[in-house]
Amino acid sequence: MNILPPNPSSEPLRATWQKMVAPYQYPDLKRSLRQLANTLLPYLGLWLLMVFSLHISYALTLLLMVPAAGFLVRLFIIFHDCGHGSFFKSRSANRWVGFFLGVLSFTPSESWWHDHAVHHATTGNLDKRGTGDVPTMTVEEFRHATPWQRLSYRVFRHPIVLFGIGPLVSFLIAPRFIYAKTGRAERLSVLYTNLALLAIFAGMSLLIGWREYLLIQLPVMWLAGAGGIWMFYMQHQYENAYWVHATQWDYAHAALDGASYYRLPRVLQFFSGNIGFHHIHHLSPRIPNYFLEQCFRDNPELHAVPTLSLRSSLKSLALRLWDEQSQRMVGFRALKQHSR
């Protein structure tokens, strides 16, 4: 097997990255509270406007859903930071605020945080796939899979399924269940989140009617979920990604070569909570989202990493398999070349 070396630009950072990110790892309470306010209050305000807009035109409601979904994505980033313990210094504050924001995004906090921690510890590791990541097969695995496994994988990796059905499954259906091998904290978070959502549904049904609630909540969740899955997919699924076996896996390389810098327009950077600086986030999950850009600006060494724009990221939609020979993501068409 031909194993190509990781991106040479990341080599000098292997010994220095911890010192480089250290100054940005301390949350600023004022900034955290300000970000929470300028995200949560607009989201709740838009919800109120959407309720009133139902009496005017559902088209107006749909229009208001776009910024509402954007603020929900931003709330999810804060929820995500709470799970890393990076939004507040206080562990209790991170847990309580994170639980509340998890309810708003239909996501059990402890359960999701656990899987996401596994993702950080295993991203790019071919021998530890399956938790908190986008399922990815190698070319050889796909070639030796059963017809049913191939069909299932092709269907799952289709954009309509990933970004159309995926948000509903990932945020509305799958998190509602307690799975066998989860810990007590994870099980309780699922239970408490489900109870909170049931209480919200009952309360909103009494206030505005259950149909009206669903006419607003479901499309907003779908839009926000599609946006979130798009961001996560694009930041780990690109041509020159990083996938190696456990014996070759390296934390710094997994962050700098296996997580992209997604260069977004300012408005999308705002709604996505700076998570486009994903390589820095993977280097140090302890950095609050509002310090990621500053860390990037202050350290030019962090600029020479896989970088995607909105246009270039579209090419990633055709990449479905990891080719261990060429060390890059390829599409299904590449299978014909391998069979020659």
Neighbours of 7 (CB within 10 A): 16
Q: Residue 190's domain spans which residues?
A: 28-339
Residue 6 lies in a domain: no
Mean pLDDT value of segment 237-250: 94
The alpha carbon torsion through 105, 107, 108, 109 (nearest 10 deg) reads: -70
Q: What is the pLDDT of residue 122?
A: 95
* Percent of the chain whose pLDDT exceeds 90: 88
CB < 8 Å & 24+ apart, contacts of 276-280: 276/231, 276/235, 278/235, 278/236, 279/255, 279/305, 279/306, 280/21, 280/255
Cα–Cα nearest to 310, from 264, 259, 258: 264
E strands of 180-220, at which residues? none
Please enumerate in sequence order all residues whose Cβ is within 8 A of that of 252, keeping only pairs 6 or more positions apart, or say none.
10, 13, 14, 17, 283
Cα–Cα nearest to 310, from 270, 269, 282: 269
pLDDT of residue 320 exceeding 80 = yes
Residue 114 lies in a domain: yes
Comparing 47-61, 65-79, 169-183, 280-294, the range with the smallest average pLDDT is 169-183
Reported confidence tier of residue 145, pLDDT bands at 50, 70, 90: very high
Q: What is the pLDDT of residue 89?
A: 97
Q: What value does the mean pLDDT of the chain take?
A: 93
Residue type, 65: M
Residues 232, 205: Cα–Cα separation, whole Å: 33
DSSP state, residue 305: S
Residue 202 lies in a domain: yes
Reported confidence tier of residue 130, pLDDT bands at 50, 70, 90: confident
Q: How many residues does the chain have?
A: 340
Number of H helices, E strands in the chain: 17, 5
| pTM attached to this predicted model | 0.93
Residue 261 lies in a domain: yes
Please enumerate in sequence order all residues whose Cβ is within 8 A of that of 249, keeping only pairs 6 or more positions apart, or say none.
124, 125
Residue 10 lies in a domain: no
Reported confidence tier of residue 316, pLDDT bands at 50, 70, 90: very high
Residue 5 lies in a domain: no
Neighbours of 16 (CB within 10 A): 12
pLDDT in tens, 245-278: 999 999 999 999 999 999 999 999 999 999 999 9
Please enumerate in sequence order all residues whose Cβ is within 8 A of that of 31, keeping only pairs 6 or more positions apart, or say none.
288, 290
**Residue 191 φ/ψ, nearest 5 degrees:** -60, -50
Kindly calculate the radius of gyration of the chain based on its CA atoms and give it in whole angstroms: 21
Residues 171, 183: Cα–Cα separation, whole Å: 20
Contact 39, 75 (CB under 8 A): yes
Q: What is the pLDDT of residue 2?
A: 32
Q: What is the pLDDT of residue 182?
A: 82
Please enumerate in sequence order all residues whose Cβ is within 8 A of that of 38, keeping only pairs 6 or more positions apart, or say none.
none
- DSSP structure string for 152-191: HHHHHTSHIIIIIIHHIIIIIIGGGS--TT--HHHHHHHH
Neighbours of 321 (CB within 10 A): 23
Q: How many domains does the chain have?
A: 1
Residue 19 lies in a domain: no
